[in-house]
Amino acid sequence: MHTKIATSILSADFSCLKEQVKEAEKAGADLIHIDVMDGHFVPNITIGPAVVKSVKKITDLPLDVHLMIEHPEFYIDDFVSAGADWISVHLEACPHLHRTVHLVKSKPNVKVGVAVNPATALTNLVNVVDLLDFVLIMSVNPGFGGQEFITQSIGKIKFLKQMLKEKSSKAFIEVDGGITADNAKQVALAGADVLVAGNSVFGQENIGEALQKILKSLG
Ligand code: DX5
Ligand code: ZN
């Protein structure tokens, strides 16, 4: 599969979200990444199911909903009803991760992922990885857009790739945080299947051109 780009609306101008999402879609975005933050798990508050429902109406692209919240299990039904196609929960927010993963898996046509913070070891995933459609490696500390890519993430992506191979897992690898046209290729070569891009697309004056630049860098 070619490297996919999930454009994160966290850096979009919400007063014209429809136009901006359409622009990203037209320029070649594969997914729309929606960052849900609760002010507890991460020090920022963002989007809830109401916005997911509105975005669902304006695009046919799959909605990739990244839950940076405590007790994600309380909100899975709401996000699925709102139109989430992919849902990731954070390993650090789920003491009963196996149960939460199964809850998401019980929803028809929804892909389940587990997100892992920069300081969290991937070995903590070993007992659930067989169940997953994807693993999301955070390459910044979650909470804000526009942060710098943590270079140690490259080693982590390679480690995960190997771990998935050993487990004969078909799960794909999503990498989130600090992706730009300058590092996208390197991240993809390390093993990423999906790159999240927020500030480097929606934070730029010309959204379409900015996304094209990343796509071109991937070759
Ligand atoms: C960070 C979010 C990211 C963010 C990425 O907490 O999970 O999805 O939008 O934004 P950039 O690409 O600006 O680092
Ligand atoms: Zn995200």
Distance CA 86, CA 69 (A): 16
Phi, psi of 20 (to 5 degrees): -70, -40
Statement: the pTM of the whole predicted model exceeds 0.75:
yes
Is the Cβ–Cβ distance between 173 and 191 less than 8 Å? yes
Chain length of the chain: 219
Tell me if 33 CB under 6 Å of ligand 1.
Answer: yes
Distance 138 CA to ligand 2 centre (A): 8
Two structure tokens written together for 61: 């692209």
Percent of the residues in the chain that have a pLDDT greater than 70, as a whole number: 100
**Residue 54 confidence (pLDDT):** 98
Distance (angstroms) between ligand 2 centre and the Cα of 68 equals 8
Predicted pLDDT at 104: 98
pLDDT digits (tens, 9 = 90+) for 60-70: 999 999 999 99
DSSP state of 45: B
Would the CB of 72 count as within 6 Å of ligand 1? no
Nearest-angstrom CA–CA distance, 68 and 41: 6
Report residue 23 as tokens.
Answer: 């622009």
pLDDT of residue 60: 97
Q: Which of 30, 35, 64, 133 is catalytic?
A: 35
* Residue ranges with strand state E in the chain: 4-8, 31-37, 63-68, 86-90, 111-116, 134-138, 172-176, 194-197
Q: For ligand 1, say whether the CB of 192 is within 6 Å of any of its atoms.
A: no
Mean pLDDT for 101-107 is 98
Task: Please give the distance, rounded to the nearest whole angstrom, from the Cα atom of residue 199 to the centre of ligand 1.
Answer: 7
Round to whole Å and give the CA distance between 150 and 85.
28
pLDDT grade for 15, boundaries at 50, 70 and 90 = very high
Supply the residue whose CA is at minimum distance from atom 12 of ligand 1. 198
Cβ of 191 closer than 6 Å to ligand 1, yes or no, is: no
Q: What are phi and psi of 116, to 5 degrees?
A: -130, 125
Catalytic annotation present for 176: yes
| Residue pLDDT, tens place only, 161-193 | 999 999 999 999 999 999 999 999 999 999 999
Please provide the DSSP assignment of 108-125 as one string.
TT-EEEEEE-TTS-GGGG
- For the chain, the average pLDDT equals 98
